[in-house]
Each structure stands twice: as C-alpha cells, then as structure tokens.
Structure 1
Amino acid sequence: MARDFYEILGVPRTAGPEEIQQAYRRLARRHHPDVNKDPGAEERFKEVSEAYDVLADPETRKRYDQFGADFRQVPEDFDERVAVGQGFRSGAPRGGVRAGFGDDVQFGQGFGGVDIEDLLGGMFGRRGAGGPIPGADQEAELALSVDEAYRGGRRKLTLAGPDGPRTYDVTIPPGVVDGQRIRLSGQGGQGSGQAPSGDLYLIVRIKPDPAYRLSGRDITVTLPVTPWEAALGTTVPVTTPGGDVKAKVPPGTSSGRRLRLRGQGMPDPRGAPGDLYAEVRIMVPAELSGRERELFEKLAAGSAFDPRRQR
C-alpha cells in the first residue's frame, strides 16, 4: 500500500502551501543522493519529491484528498455527479512532470514552484561539475532519564556509522524537554573536497519514569498522605528531581487534589522554570493494629460525614 503523502512530508492534512514547501526543502536537502550517501537516500528522495509534486498543486492535492492513492485514475475534468460508483480509466496526472529522482529530472526543473537547482545550489555545483559537496546533516535520538534531563551535564554517546562506531562528547543543557534538538556542529556527514561537514542533531527522548510525569516543563508527582493528614492539614516533603521540597496540604484535602509548587518543575536556561504538581493520594494501613482499629471505629461511630452524599 502506498504511503500517505502527508506522512512522507511530516505535515498535517491541514498544512498550508508554505508549510508543505518548508517541509519539502528540509527533506530534499537531507536526502538528496548527491549529499546523502546512505543507500536508501535516493529512494527516500523520490518519495519526498513525488509527495511534494502532488501536494504543491492545489488541483492535484484536491483530487488526492478526495480519492487517495487512486487519484491518478481520475480525469481532471471528472464530474462528481456522475462519478459516484464508477471506475476511471487511467489518465496522466495534472502538472506534467513527475518529481521522482532518476526519471530524467535535471537540475533547474521545477517541482510545484520550487527550483531544485535554487534549493540545492548553495550546497553543491551542478551535477557532474565536480565541485566540493558539504556533508549532510544527520539526526539521532538521545534517550535521557528525567533526572538527567533536569540536571544536564556531559555524556559520551556512541553511534553506529558507515565507518564503524563513533563516540561523541555531548553537553546536555539543564532542563531539556522531549523532542528538543541538541546540535553538534560539524559532526554530521563528511563533506567532499574542502567542503565542511554537516551537523549532527540529537533528538531528546525522555524515558518513562515511575515517579514523574512530564508535560512540557511541568512535572506531576504522586503525594501519599494519611487520612488524618488530609483531614487536619499538614506539611510534608515532596521528592523532585532537584531534591526534596515542602508541600503544604490544606485541611480537608481529598484524593486527586493537585497542589501546585511554583517554579519546582524542569528548569529553563532561557526563561522561567516549569511548575511541580503534587497529586494527593490518601493511603490507609493495609493491616490495622488493635489501637488503630479502635480509633477508626470511634471515628466511624461519631462522624456524620458521608462522601457519597456530597455534591
């Protein structure tokens, strides 16, 4: 089954022309076979170019959105009133040129208004000119625990490459969040001749943690309290990636209440840190001692509180 063109470009179906063009420029630079020597780069470039050729043309995109992978079977002058339930004979796609690399497409030939030579001309000369070719930018994932992301620091990272494993010294800024990119300048693909190497971008992935739940720079933790602490109010310690802090539990707190500790979330070197939310969970002893049972029975007999009648 053919891949979805929106998925290939990494854009939503609501993307505008500018967003589609930006996605194509980025991917074309990364996967062009004259820059990226990976064996799968040429096939990936073909996919990206074809997807852009279709989505950049409003009429072709309209037919693709309506008919999906069968859009090329639909004549340009189709009439929806008589087309329902009928098949279509194969017809040439609108726009003439198919943007697949290797189909006699030369530099300077346009794809939906984007000139390949203009797009890539700053990276290398015309094909066969023998000019220096800058190295391609590359990406890799960097898995971090919440504690590592919070504190930052230095770390060695070993990645497989065409010439064998390579180790990098990575400086992790404090407070990195999931999806953030760390740039290692000149550590990407090697350029030819005197051309510079590309950059290596490390995409941060925060590993799941049983103690912390992240939402951007905000952190949520579970705060266990006893029934009497919840009823009477108290101050209890809360464990955070930055160390223990104090949280004030107001009297009459129920399970599920979120206590906000401003500025105790993930740090942000460029702005205000996130917040920490302590989510209260009332805990009872798994086994009661004789005295505890006696006190709970007295409370049950003397209290008129019924949570099932509360609004």
Structure 2
Amino acid sequence: MARDYYEALGVPRGASADEIQQAFRRLARRHHPDVNRDPAAEERFKEINEAYQVLSEPSTRARYDRFGENFRQVPEDWEERVAAGAGAGAGPGGRGPFGGARGRVWTGGGGDGGIDLDDLFGGFFGARGATGPIPGADQQAELPLTVEEAYRGGRHRVTLRGPGRSGGYEVEVPPGTVDGQRIRLAGEGGRGSGRGPSGDLYLVVRIAPHPRYRLDGRNIHVPLPVTPWEAALGATVPLEAPGGTLKVHIPAGSSTGRRLRLRGQGMPNPHGAPGDLYAEVRVMVPPSLGPRERELFQELAAESSFDPRRQP
C-alpha cells in the first residue's frame, strides 16, 4: 500500500464524498499521463486512483478507516459478522465470531486497540465451527481510461497492487464504456478459505477529464471554433471527435454558444442507441490583421448597421 489515502488526495479524514471527488478530479487533471509528461506523473496518477477507489466507495472507506492498511484482508460483511458474534452465536467462553469478547468493536492502528487479523479470522471460523468452504470476498478497483479509450474500447492491461496480487490482468473494455461502469473479473477477488471459491474483482471505470471533450452520460460536448465569416455566411467545417473527423454544417448567422447536434455521434452503446455529439460554436477573430484584412473589416464596420448590444 502507498502512503495514507487521505494524505494522497490531500483531504482530511472527515472529508465528504464531494470533497474527495473534487480532490481526485483536480489531481487527476494535473497528473494524468496524457497531459503531464513528467516521468513521475504516471506513478502519482496511479497513487491518486488507488486512494480514490478506496475512499469513494462508502463500504470500502469504512473498512479502511477501521482497519487501516489491513482493510483488504477484511471481508465486506465484517459488520454483520461482528453483530452475529455479539448475539446468541457467540462461541465458547462468551467470545464472538472473531475470537474477541461479545460486542467488542475493533479499531485500526497499533497497541491494545489494534487487530491481529490471523486471530480475528481464525477465531471466526473456529467459533462458528465452520469446516466447509468459505467463499472469498468480492473486491473492487478502479480502471482509469481516457475519453478516446472509453469510446473505442479494446484490450487493456491493468496492474493492481496489494496483498496476494502480482502481475497484471488483460481486460476487455467494451466500446462506449461510460464513467462508473463495472467490469467483472470472475475469481480474481479475495481468496476463499477451506477450498472455498475466490470472490470476484470488479473494475470501476473512471474516465479522466479531457481538455476538449465533456461527457454527459453517452453524450459528448465539444467546442467548435469558427471564423467570423463562417459564422456569418454559413460553412461546412471539419471537427475532431473521439471517433475520428466529422463534417459539421454551420448555419448562416450562428453566434458563439449555438449548439449543433450530431445525432448518434456520441459514445457508442452496445445494447442500445448511441449518444449524441453537441458541437458548441465559438467565433474566433484573427489575433492580428494584414493591411487588406483590416481594410475589409473597416469597410464592413462602415457598411453594417448590426449592433449586438442593442436589444431587439
């Protein structure tokens, strides 16, 4: 495990879910390898993702807060097991299912308040008298993708760090994968006990912020720079989109802020209709003018009665 996850994101331990998400997005935008060429940026980005994947999931965050760096070894239903051990199911001598006293609440850290996980789980299985197989816990991790990678899909290699993990996984990402979508890797979760099957590993897709594209579900929003004459006279111009270059028709008299909808050109959808692409017109003026250009603009200014500040 890397350094403390809260420290990695630069948030206090009592941070809200919104504060954690905002911190992640801010840091991801700064350290994503597509925008930061510093060799250390990729490792920092992985550290940020690892911290966010744990702290953004309430149940996982609760285990991390309680058990510290050993949280991955604790089953997801540990609270139910503690509750069961505090009742009639307690083992001999008034001890609960984790081998501790009835009703005891375990906290992370060292000293007397710490946890011996071997005793904890050994006590659980021994107290319940379980001799049969115990399934492993499902686990969750994040899969960071760019907008283009999510659009195209394809095979990706994922390397995860943690107890009992080595090497990487080849993951098939469906075209049109959206933020928050989960990809299941059967049998790659926590190890079972007593020949019990391993749990599953769920990869949660997180699409990194993009300097041009903004996603809204399967819809894609992208700025469309145009010249003053293209906006005034109308034109057909090229537009770079995640799926390739598109031709966009600009109606005459288009002003900055006008949205042009291209149906079906958003994120693909393997199980239904694709999203749409919205190109937002942005009228751009030349940063400098040649003598003839200046003359023509002056002629236009003298000839035109258009006043954008006058209310119709």
Give TM-score, length-normalised by structure 2. Answer: 0.63
Q: CA deviation at 1:196?
A: 1.1
Q: Which residue of 1 aligns with 2:179?
A: 178
- Distance (whole Å) between structure 1 residues aligned to residue 218 and residue 283 of structure 2: 26
Q: Identity of paired residues, percent?
A: 62
Q: Which residue of 2 aligns with 1:116?
A: none
Q: Which residue of 1 aligns with 2:203?
A: 202
Q: Which residue of 1 aligns with 2:298?
A: 297
Is the contact between residue 125 and residue 132 of structure 1 (CA under 8 Å) also seen in structure 2?
A: no
Is the contact between residue 221 and residue 278 of structure 2 (CA under 8 Å) also seen in structure 1?
A: yes
Q: CA deviation at 1:246?
A: 1.1
- Distance (whole Å) between structure 2 residues aligned to residue 42 and residue 249 of structure 1: 57
- Distance (whole Å) between structure 2 residues aligned to residue 48 and residue 277 of structure 1: 50
Amino acid corresponding to residue 237 of structure 1 in structure 2: P
- Distance (whole Å) between structure 2 residues aligned to residue 146 and residue 256 of structure 1: 23
Indicate the SS of the match to 1:223: strand
Q: CA deviation at 1:192?
A: 1.7
Matched, 1:104 2:94: no
Instruction: Map 1:1-311; keep pairs closer than 5 Å.
Output: 38=71, 41=74, 45-46=78-79, 104=102, 127-311=128-312
Is the contact between residue 27 and residue 48 of structure 1 (CA under 8 Å) also seen in structure 2?
A: no
Is the contact between residue 184 and residue 201 of structure 2 (CA under 8 Å) also seen in structure 1?
A: yes
Amino acid corresponding to residue 104 of structure 1 in structure 2: R
Indicate the SS of the match to 1:147: helix
Q: CA deviation at 1:43?
A: 11
Amino acid corresponding to residue 284 of structure 1 in structure 2: V
Amino acid corresponding to residue 184 of structure 1 in structure 2: L
**Count of equivalent residues:** 222
Counterparts in 2 of 1:231 and 1:144: CA distance versus 1, 3 Å = same
For residues 226-285 of structure 1, what are the alpha-carbon distances to aligned partners after superposition, in whole Å with 9 as ceiling and x for unaligned?
001000111111111111111110010000000000000000000000000000000010
- Distance (whole Å) between structure 2 residues aligned to residue 196 and residue 236 of structure 1: 57
Is the contact between residue 142 and residue 206 of structure 2 (CA under 8 Å) also seen in structure 1?
A: yes
Q: CA deviation at 1:38?
A: 3.7
For residues 138-160 of structure 1, what are the alpha-carbon distances to aligned partners after superposition, in whole Å with 9 as ceiling and x for unaligned?
00000000000000000111101
- Distance (whole Å) between structure 1 residues aligned to residue 81 and residue 298 of structure 2: 71
Q: CA deviation at 1:3?
A: 6.6
- Distance (whole Å) between structure 2 residues aligned to residue 159 and residue 246 of structure 1: 41
Amino acid corresponding to residue 136 of structure 1 in structure 2: A
The answer to which of 280-289 and 160-169 deviates more is 160-169
Q: Which runs of 5+ in 2 are unaligned?
A: 1-11, 18-57, 84-96, 105-124
Q: CA deviation at 1:41?
A: 3.3
Indicate the SS of the match to 2:164: coil
Counterparts in 2 of 1:139 and 1:262: CA distance versus 1, 3 Å = same
Counterparts in 2 of 1:2 and 1:281: CA distance versus 1, 3 Å = closer
RMSD: 3.5
Compare CA radii of gyration and give the structure with the larger one.
1
Counterparts in 2 of 1:220 and 1:132: CA distance versus 1, 3 Å = same
Amino acid corresponding to residue 217 of structure 2 in structure 1: G
Amino acid corresponding to residue 296 of structure 1 in structure 2: F
Q: CA deviation at 1:177?
A: 0.6
Q: CA deviation at 1:45?
A: 4.0
Q: Which residue of 1 aligns with 2:94?
A: none
Q: CA deviation at 1:165?
A: 2.9
Q: CA deviation at 1:128?
A: 3.0
Counterparts in 2 of 1:103 and 1:285: CA distance versus 1, 3 Å = farther
- Distance (whole Å) between structure 2 residues aligned to residue 47 and residue 3 of structure 1: 24
- Distance (whole Å) between structure 1 residues aligned to residue 237 and residue 250 of structure 2: 7
- Distance (whole Å) between structure 2 residues aligned to residue 247 and residue 167 of structure 1: 42
Give TM-score, length-normalised by structure 1. Answer: 0.63
Indicate the SS of the match to 1:307: coil
